[in-house]
Structure 1
Amino acid sequence: MYDFEEAKVKEFLKRTGAKRAALQVPAGLAPHLPEIMRPFDQLGVEVVIMAGSCYGACDLADEAAKKLGSDVLVHYGHADMGLESVLPTLFVEARIEKSPIESLELALPELRFKRVGLVATVQHVGHLEEAANFLELHGIQTFVGGPSTRTRYPGQVLGCDVGCAKAVAPMVEGFIYIGTGEFHPLGVALVTGKKVVAVNPVSVSFKIFMPQQDEFIKERKAMVARAALGKTFGVIVSTKKGQSRFNLASKIVDLLRREGKRTYLLAVDDISPEVMKNFGFDALVLVACPRIPVDDAERFESPVLTPFEVLVMLGKLPIEPYRMDEINKEDMG
């Protein structure tokens, strides 16, 4: 199902002369560990599995791997976003080999577009040309935006970067997303204001996301209203290399304090409800992975806001049009 690029891994290990390799494997690929391990076993390279989080290329465990005496780091399931590493690092994107055509055929009756933008996660981005050819045979013109600040390929989207979709939004009537999960197509719909048809090649299914996400907006309004009642706020910034938006976090701390909120800045590697519960904050602001406030908010006892929602809470911006949290270079540092 996945292409683990064994030849590429072997070449990398031989070229670097690695004796001990650290591996980062996201949870979804962990069951494939025996297959992933094959080139390392064949070359007699010792492996240390970095069993902490592996949320994206932003979550690089190079420094921890070096402390363990690793010569190299091999990071699976994500595309290189250009972060500096203290070790020679290889990204194995684990592309999914299954074609999206069967799912697109199912979705065809819903594709009432003449001009459509194509987006995908990195596991499926290699099938965008195939999808474009199929759609154009059915009279649908396709557009693919170029790589953005944190992406490597045309049409690639991240939870924190949908720049390729924004680039072509003025030219299209809607989008087709190829991949799994709901966070990415939801983000594309909200950011671009366009209908998104999400096709899932793995489950051979599709789902429609409208830009008017009434239920989602209702839930976020309720979260903002709960937070507004709070007196103590924890602003959480990540120590992960590609998520550490300290500049933005500091601005939010200052803003909340000026509004009379007792506010604390917390630096955390892996953000968990259990750790946050210990502090007893009335509300939390996540200045880390944008997915957490949207996908995991119900796991936290306190309301969890995005940086945009802080401005909504303080009456500085309206909640609509809703703005998904995206990571920008100026917020880092």
Structure 2
Amino acid sequence: MFACTIADIIERFTDALTVIMGDVTYGACCIDDFTAVALGCDMLIHYGHSCLVPMDQTTIKTLYVFVEIAIDSNHLAQTIRLNFPDDRETFRETLLDSEQQASLIPAGERIGQGRHLRIEGPDASAVDDESQNPVGTAEQPSNPPRLALVSTIQFVAALQRLKEDLTTSYVAPSTPDGPYSNGAHGDQRPRIWTGAYDATIPRSKPLSPGEILGCTAPQLADVDALIYLGDGRFHLESIMIANPDVPAFRYDPYSKKLTRERYAHQEMRSIRDDAVQTARKSIDIIAHSQSPAGELTPRIDEESPVWGVILGTLGRQGSFKQLQAITSQLRSSRTSIPYVPILLSELSPAKLALFNPHIATFVQTSCPRLSIDWGYAFDRPLLTPYETAVAVDKAIGWMSKGEGESEGSGVYPMDFYAAGTPWATSRTTATY
């Protein structure tokens, strides 16, 4: 949208020539230094995303221009205080327990007064009585609720401001602003919780504190809820998948709405497990079609299934070294799996349907969310690097039954770019 204007400014005030790259950019992983070099460019300017691909790893001089979006911080902080009790027990009773009870209402039954889903802390009829509970003079709760604050890179500065606002007691301004000033019944204003919260900003290195990606989010320890600052659900779903037991809330800075968000964890895990099990069945077929292990050069039946290993070519989505790590894993697995390398900029069910039917399973390095969100739409399994490791028994799956756990209760990790994980280290070492 702004590319043409920026290009005009550069060419008007400098002698440089500009090239506007028209390929789609889904995120920080789509920075396309390879195409820039092929076009004969001397420098690449990338707007809006963090340095997911470090400048010392790009093949051209790269300038990352960060974008910070200013929001109404007062409205954000007061909205949370209006809805989240500042005492941990009260928080759980009024926000989480009552929500669970409301979810038991039979489907199709009319929800009458007092039986609607709500995220407010106190009762709607409870308004401040200045003589009983004046704003700013409430006692500090001894056990405040523990909140994890996350966002996209554009709002991390606002996230730091929010933490400061929540970890200190609230003092009413002399000139009220934000949602607290908009009482619906004259002087009867909704109660605002004034105590300090135990708010933290988690981090999944190498990302910035509080920053999450659609494929990378930290696992949270001992928190009562997570609050996501941003529009849309793509990034939020990442941390919800990684923390299925943590209630999630989203504050949209554009619509200024705080909403309770949910995710079909069991359905997602089941669908992805079906893909892994189907891939394992193809391995069994391959094992029966191979020649005896004693032969120096194993023979593969022409009709035997093979796997297609896809290297994403949209920007830096795909990593050749990660592709090498995957193919090495396939060769060294208990049953050596034949494969064919495939280069694709974007994946779709229609494209993969064109490949020979004897390609039984696809492995893609572009983005885990392609498999998680859209895997059901493909007629053959579309595995992520992590799911591939599970399929060949090189990693523990999310459906495995641990001690004291029920089957399928494991956590599906969202750590595609997290430092120290096999998927991250393979981009530099070409091995797992």
Is the 8 Å Cα contact of residues 144 and 155 (structure 1) preserved in structure 2?
yes
Is the 8 Å Cα contact of residues 248 and 262 (structure 2) preserved in structure 1?
yes
Q: Which runs of 5+ in 2 are unaligned?
A: 86-90, 92-143, 171-193, 283-304, 400-409, 418-422
In 1, distance between residues paired with 2:261 and 2:272?
17
Which residue in the other structure is 2:397 paired with?
A: 317
From 305, 308, 317, give the equivalent of 2:383.
Answer: 305
Verify: 1:187 aligned to 2:264, yes or no.
no
Q: TM-score, normalised by structure 2?
A: 0.59
Verify: 1:114 aligned to 2:114, yes or no.
no
Q: Deviations over 1:84-116 (max 9, x none)?
A: 223221112332223365456555526747121
Which residue in the other structure is 2:325 paired with?
A: 248
Deviation (angstroms), 1:299: 5.0
Verify: 1:95 aligned to 2:68, yes or no.
yes
In 1, distance between residues paired with 2:274 and 2:397?
16
Verify: 1:141 aligned to 2:114, yes or no.
no
Which residue in the other structure is 1:39 paired with?
A: 9
Matches within 5 A, 1:321-332: 321-327=411-417, 328-332=423-427
1 or 2, which has the higher helix percentage? 1
Amino acid corresponding to residue 142 of structure 1 in structure 2: A
1 or 2, which has the higher strand percentage? 1
Which deviates more, 91-100 or 104-113? 104-113
From 50, 58, 63, give the equivalent of 1:79.
Answer: 50
Amino acid corresponding to residue 211 of structure 2 in structure 1: Q
Verify: 1:296 aligned to 2:378, yes or no.
no
Which deviates more, 63-72 or 33-42? 33-42
Deviation (angstroms), 1:261: 5.0
Which residue in the other structure is 1:219 paired with?
A: 271
Instruction: Give 3-state SS (helix, strand or coil) of 1:63's partner.
Output: helix
Verify: 1:233 aligned to 2:307, yes or no.
yes
Which residue in the other structure is 2:420 paired with?
A: none
Deviation (angstroms), 1:74: 0.8
Deviation (angstroms), 1:306: 2.0
Is the 8 Å Cα contact of residues 147 and 224 (structure 2) preserved in structure 1?
yes
Matches within 5 A, 1:144-293: 144-146=201-203, 148-149=205-206, 151=207, 153-162=208-217, 165-166=218-219, 169-170=220-221, 172-193=223-244, 194-209=246-261, 213-230=265-282, 231-239=305-313, 240-241=315-316, 243-244=318-319, 245-254=322-331, 258-259=334-335, 262-280=338-356, 281-293=359-371
Is the 8 Å Cα contact of residues 100 and 199 (structure 1) preserved in structure 2?
no
Task: Classify 1:242/1:176 alpha carbon distance in 2 versus 1 (closer, same or farther; 3 Å).
Answer: same
In 1, distance between residues paired with 2:310 and 2:163?
41
Q: Deviations over 1:244-267 (max 9, x none)?
A: 1224322442266x4465433334
Q: Which stretches of structure 1, 4 residues or longer, exceed 6 Å deviation after superposition? A: none
Task: Classify 1:80/1:314 alpha carbon distance in 2 versus 1 (closer, same or farther; 3 Å).
Answer: closer
In 2, distance between residues paired with 1:298 and 1:158?
22
Instruction: Give 3-state SS (helix, strand or coil) of 1:73's partner.
Output: strand
Is the 8 Å Cα contact of residues 237 and 268 (structure 1) preserved in structure 2?
yes
Deviation (angstroms), 1:143: 1.2
* Identical residues among aligned pairs (%): 25
Q: Which runs of 5+ in 1 are unaligned?
A: 1-30
Task: Classify 1:252/1:197 alpha carbon distance in 2 versus 1 (closer, same or farther; 3 Å).
Answer: farther
Answer with 1 or 2: which has the greater Rg: 2
Amino acid corresponding to residue 75 of structure 1 in structure 2: H
Deviation (angstroms), 1:121: 0.9
Is the 8 Å Cα contact of residues 230 and 252 (structure 2) preserved in structure 1?
yes
Deviation (angstroms), 1:227: 4.2
Q: Deviations over 1:265-309 (max 9, x none)?
A: 334444444443332333322223222212333553433222333
The CA RMSD measured in Å over matched residues stands at 3.2
Deviation (angstroms), 1:325: 4.9
Is the 8 Å Cα contact of residues 253 and 264 (structure 1) preserved in structure 2?
no
Task: Classify 1:263/1:209 alpha carbon distance in 2 versus 1 (closer, same or farther; 3 Å).
Answer: farther
In 2, distance between residues paired with 1:251 and 1:99?
51
Task: Classify 1:105/1:295 alpha carbon distance in 2 versus 1 (closer, same or farther; 3 Å).
Answer: farther
Is the 8 Å Cα contact of residues 95 and 123 (structure 1) preserved in structure 2?
yes
In 2, distance between residues paired with 1:325 and 1:133?
28
Which residue in the other structure is 1:57 paired with?
A: 28
Q: Deviations over 1:129-159 (max 9, x none)?
A: 222133333421211235612x2x2211223
In 2, distance between residues paired with 1:215 and 1:148?
29
Instruction: Give the total of aligned pairs.
Output: 296
Amino acid corresponding to residue 69 of structure 1 in structure 2: G
Is the 8 Å Cα contact of residues 50 and 153 (structure 2) preserved in structure 1?
yes
Q: Deviations over 1:211-248 (max 9, x none)?
A: 88223223333444454554442222335546412243
